């Protein structure tokens, strides 16, 4: 699997409406997606978790060559398979932190969990005052399940650090299936436990694309 990188800042703005006449914008769609840069460090397209690929009307230049990025993308579909991107929100892609010397599971708010695009996805609301948090996952156990496959029990690694518990901020986390199992299929399960402010929360995902 190619290493996924997090692009922290890409600010985009919408044009305003005039007082005399309100602009009618086409509907914007927001989906989880992956963007890939080419050998020259240009991102020309993206693929959503639903498997739809779009060419960017305005490519992004000057990024790391031959890398993948995970985003929550707000876009408007244009003609001929093109798309105009109006918003990008970076998605945390945690690494295996099982052998970290100090495993931390600081609590977060839990909103939802789902699968898509070969990822187990989480919508979380950690409390923050704008500081830096550290994310990962820990392999707790593994066992053969009744489906004839393997169940992988993981827990979310989250280090609050020195960031105060101030306000809740939306954070999206995606764990690639192929970082958990080399060839996952529909008989393999992921049981992911998240430490929340209301106690541990375990979500079960089927490891299929």
> Per residue in 166-177, pLDDT tens?
999 999 999 999
* 112-147 residue pLDDT tens: 999 999 999 999 999 999 999 999 999 999 999 999
Quick one: CA dihedral 175, 180, 184, 190, positive or negative? negative
Predicted TM-score of the model (pTM):
0.86
Distances (CA, A) of 163 to 52, 128, 132, 139: 38, 6, 7, 26
* 36-60 residue pLDDT tens: 999 999 999 999 999 999 999 999 9
């Amino acid at each position: 699997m190619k290493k996924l990188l997090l692009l922290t800042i890409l600010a985009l703005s919408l044009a305003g409406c005039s007082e005399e006449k309100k602009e009618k914008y086409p509907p914007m769609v927001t989906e989880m997606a992956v963007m890939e840069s080419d050998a020259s460090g240009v991102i020309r397209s993206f693929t959503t978790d639903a498997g739809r690929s779009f060419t960017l009307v305005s490519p992004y230049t000057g990024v790391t060559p031959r890398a993948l990025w995970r985003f929550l993308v707000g876009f408007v579909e244009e003609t001929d398979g093109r798309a105009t991107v109006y918003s990008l929100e970076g998605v945390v892609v945690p690494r295996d932190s099982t052998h970290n010397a100090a495993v931390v599971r600081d609590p977060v708010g839990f909103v939802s969990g789902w699968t898509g695009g070969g990822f187990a996805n989480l919508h979380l609301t950690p409390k923050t005052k704008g500081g830096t948090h550290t994310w990962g996952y820990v392999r707790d156990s593994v066992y053969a399940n009744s489906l004839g496959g393997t169940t992988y029990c993981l827990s979310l690694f989250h280090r609050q650090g020195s960031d105060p518990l101030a306000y809740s901020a939306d954070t999206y986390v995606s764990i690639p299936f192929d970082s958990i199992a080399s060839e996952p299929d529909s008989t393999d399960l992921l049981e992911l436990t998240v430490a929340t402010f209301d106690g541990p929360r375990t979500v079960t995902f089927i490891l299929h694309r």
